[in-house]
A and B are shown apart, each in its own frame.
Chain A
C-alpha cells in the first residue's frame, strides 16, 4: 500500500511540473503581451518589461519562474500592480474552495442517497421521482439552475438571500445550484450500479447464507456499487470546481473565477500561470486522493500496483 501511495504522489508531482511548463510556453504564444495597450508609450513599455524581467531570454525566464515556483512564489500581477499573485489567490481561493466543497458534499451525499433509494424502490413511484430529478439535473446547466433557484427561493418566496457570500444562509443556493448537476449524475450512476450489483452471484450467495436483506444491502450491495462513483470522483471534483467560476458570477461571489477570466484577457502572464498551476495542482491532488481512496476500498487495486 505504501508503495502504491508513493507512486501516486510521484506521478502527481510530475503532472504538475509538465502542466507548469506547457502553460508557461503556451501563454507566451498568445498574441500581444501584458503591456500592449496603445496608450502606453514605447519607453514605458520597455521599462515595464525590464521591471518584470520580460526582456530576458525566454529560457532564462522559464528557469527563474521554475525556481520561484519551487518556493511557492507565483510572482507579481501586471494587471494589479504591486499585488502578488499569491496575495490575490489567498484572498479569493477561500471563497471558491468553500463553495466548491459545500457543493461537493451536497452532490455526493444526496446523489448517493437518491441513487440507493431509487434502486431499492425500482419500478415504483419513488424510483420514478428520483429518476425524473436526475434527468432534470443532468440536462439543466449550472447557471440556469442558479437563476431558477434565485428566482424562486430568493425573489418569489424570499426564503434565502439572492447573492453575495456572508453567513451560512448565503451559501445554500449557490452550493445547490453548483452541485445539482453532479448530484444528479452521482444518483444515476449509483442507481445503475446498485441494480447491476444486485444481480451478481455473490448477492445470491449471501441470500443462500441466510443473511438479512438489510445486511445484504449494506455490506454487499452498496459497498460494491459505490466503486463506479469513486472512479468518477476525480472528474466530478474537476467539474464542480470549474463550475464555480460561472456560479460565482451568477451569485456575485468574490472567488477566483473573476481573476481567472481577467488574467487571460489581459495577458497577465504570472496571473495566468499562477491560477492555472494552482488550480491544476489542486485537481491533481484531488485525483491523487481519489486514487488512494480507491485502493483503500477495493482490495484488488492495492495488490496489483
Chain B
C-alpha cells in the first residue's frame, strides 16, 4: 500500500488551515498598527475557506486515510464545520477587545488557528497517535494564550492591576494540570498498546469485541484515558483549573476556551467512547455517572457563591459538562445525538455570555463583576435583553434553546432506563436556576451604579448587532430546533 493523492484530498481543510496560519504569521510581521486589520481579515478568510472545503466533503461516507490514522466521517465533518462557525464569531467578538487592551498582535489569531487545526486533527483521529497529537496541538496554543495578553488596567484597584500576573498564574495552573492529564492519557494508551499491539482505533475496537474476558490492563488503560478526557471537559474531580483559567485569562481567550474546546472534546469523547470502547460501555458508564453527578453538584452549588461573572460562568460550565456526560452515557440510540445538540447549544450560549462581557468591556475596564451589571437594562437595554435570553437559556427555560437541549438529554436518559438520574439532573438544574436568575434581577431591578469610570463608552452599534444575532439565534434554535437535531442525527448515520 502506498499513499495516493486521493488521501490528500480528504485532508484539504487541515492543509489549508496550516498553510494559511503560517502565511498569516509571516504577513503579520510586515504590518503596522494601522494595517493590523489585514491579519484579522485573513484569519476570517481562512475560516470561511476551511468551512467551504469541509462542506464539500460532507456526506462522503466513512473513509480512512494515511494508513488508518485519519478518518473522514459525518460526525467529524459536522464538528469541524461547527468549530469554524464558532471560531468566526469568536474572532469577531475578540477584535475590538484586543484593540482596546493594547494587545492587538497577530499571534492571537495565529495561535487560535493552530489550536483549531489541532481540534480538527483530534475530531477526525482514527489512531491514538493522531488523537494525542491533536490534543496537544489544540491545548498548547491555549496555554500560551491564557498568559498572552498583557492587560493594562488603570482604574480598578489592586486586584485588576495585577491581572497580568493572574493571567500568568492561570496559565501555569492550566499548563501543569494539562500536562498531567495528557500524561495520564498517554499512560492509558501505552497500556492499551501493550495488550492489543496497536494504536489504531479500529484494531483496538475489534480486539475488544472479540475478547470475552477483558484483560485488567485494558480496564486500567480505559480509566487513565477517561481521566484525560474528563480533564479536557473539566468534569469533577478534574475541574480545578476551570474557574481560575476562565477568570484569569483575558476575556477574548476565555471566550475561545469556553466554546471551541468543548466541541473538540465532544469529538474526542466520541472517538474514545463510541469508536474504541463501545464494547466496554458498562464499564465506563459507571464512571461517567459518578462524574456527571459530581459535576452537576459542584458546578451548580459553587456557582451560587461567586461574585465574578466569569468565575460564575466557569462553574456553570462544569455543571453543563455534567449534563453533557449524561447524554453520552445514555447510549447510542438517541443519547449521542442529544449530547451533540447539547454541546453545540451550550457553545452558542457560552459564546453569547462571554461575548456580552467582551462587548461591555472597554479600555482598561473588564466588565466582569456581577456588581457591574447593576441597572444595565437602563443603560444598555438591548444588551441586557440579550443577556436575559442567554441566561434563561442556560437555566433551561422554554422557549430558549437551552431548554430543548436539556429536554433531549433527559429524554434519552429516560429511554435508556436511567429515570433516577434524570430526576437528579432536574433537581440540580433547579438549584442552578438561582444564580442565573440573580444576574437577571441585578440587571433589571437594581439601581445603576452611581459613578462610572472616566473611560466609559457605550457599546458600539456593531457590538450590539453581534450580540443580538447571538441572542436571537438562541431564541430561534429554541423555537425551531428540528434543524439542529436533524443535523445531529444525520451525523451519526454510518
A joins B in a complex: no
